[in-house]
Amino acid sequence: MKIANLTRSFFIFIFIIFISIILFLALLPTSEPKMLTDLDIPSFDSRCVQGVDSMSSYLDNQGSLSVSTWNIYKQKRQGWEQQLANLNHASQLVLLQEAGLSPELRQYIRHAQLKVSMAQAFTLLDTSYGVMNLSHTEVKSACAFMATEPLIRVEKSGILAYYPLSSGEELLVVNLHGINFEWTLTHYSRQFEALALELEKHQGPIILAGDFNTWRAQRLNLVSEFAKRFNLSAISYRVDERQRVFGLPLDHLYYRGLAFLGAESLATESSDHNPITAHFRLR
């Protein structure tokens, strides 16, 4: 009887310690969202950055525009570099989630002569992780957004960026990694609502893409309603190998103000997600 009481007391003590740790982490202040756009200055200094305002370089290629989005899984799997090279070859803009700014990824970006915009989510072992935009065209301006997983307190980041188009318009691009570990929609909804003001102000074309973690019907409905609110359309797929959980796709690309030509999501072994590539023409 005494041993049973001691065992019960021990488990109660462990439970109290566990709850205390969770509450402590929940009350920790989160860091401010920060951007990086220059690998030669490897620091995340400001929430928003201004690029070079040049009219000689446009994101599209004579009116054609292809955009890819891919959760690169922190470059944990073999073959990520070749897969990323394929996406950059096929697209004028590549949007990455779970990108780790490792020496290998830095080397790839420099060798490919790409422009980078990265919103830092967190740092682990001196490597920054977050969402990243890659293109051959300098971003006109970009701002970082951040949301905190309500349970595990890991940060998820997003980028809201503007790119020049040959039509004279600016393309607003949102690259977002959605909150995952939440059954309700409270924090998940707030993450999208943080983007609403910029989307409301912008009169030109828009791309909204990323790993939205829509593993539940209510999540997918929220994203769909958010897209409809800003007249964004979901793309259709020639081949659709997007990663699914409970039968629902996690990755998405929505658009507005562009002529949609086609899209595909092809299987790869280089990540736990398969990339999306969508093709457009300027209107």
Mention every residue, 6+ apart, whose C-beta is less than 8 A from residue 252: 208, 209, 210, 212, 214, 223, 234, 276
Task: For the chain, state the CA radius of gyration.
Answer: 20
Q: Tell me, yes or no, whether 73 and 101 share the same domain.
A: yes
Q: What is the pLDDT of residue 17?
A: 63
* Shared-domain flag, residues 94 and 23: no
Is the domain of 14 the same as that of 52? no
Q: CATH code at 114?
A: 3.60.10.10
What pLDDT sits at residue 9? 61
Residue-range definition of the domain harbouring residue 234: 31-281
Backbone angles phi, psi at 238, to 5 degrees: -70, -45
Model-wide pTM > 0.85 = yes
Same domain, 75 and 2: no
Pairing mode of beta strands 258-265, 239-240: parallel
* pLDDT value, residue 242: 98
Residue 185's CB is within 10 A of a number of other CB atoms, namely: 16
123 and 243 together in one domain: yes
Strands (E) located in the chain: 34-36, 48-50, 64-71, 93-100, 115-124, 127-135, 141-148, 155-164, 170-177, 206-211, 233-234, 239-240, 244-245, 248-249, 251-256, 258-265, 276-282
Reading the chain (283 residues) residue by residue, the pLDDT tens digits are 566 666 666 666 676 665 544 444 443 444 678 899 999 887 787 899 987 665 668 999 999 999 999 999 999 999 999 999 999 999 999 999 999 999 999 999 999 999 999 999 998 888 999 999 999 999 999 999 999 898 787 889 999 999 999 999 999 999 999 999 999 999 999 999 999 999 999 999 999 999 999 999 999 999 999 999 999 999 999 999 999 999 999 999 999 999 999 999 999 999 999 999 999 999 9
- Looking at the fold, whether 11 and 143 belong to one and the same domain comes out as no
Same domain, 22 and 85: no
The two counts, helices (H) then strands (E), for the chain are: 5, 17
Residues 23 and 57 in one domain: no
Residues 188 and 157 in one domain: yes
Per-residue pLDDT, 32: 77
pLDDT score, position 1: 59
Report the domain count for the chain. Answer: 2
pLDDT at 40: 86
| Residue 165 sits in the same domain as residue 74 | yes
Do 21 and 112 have their domain in common? no
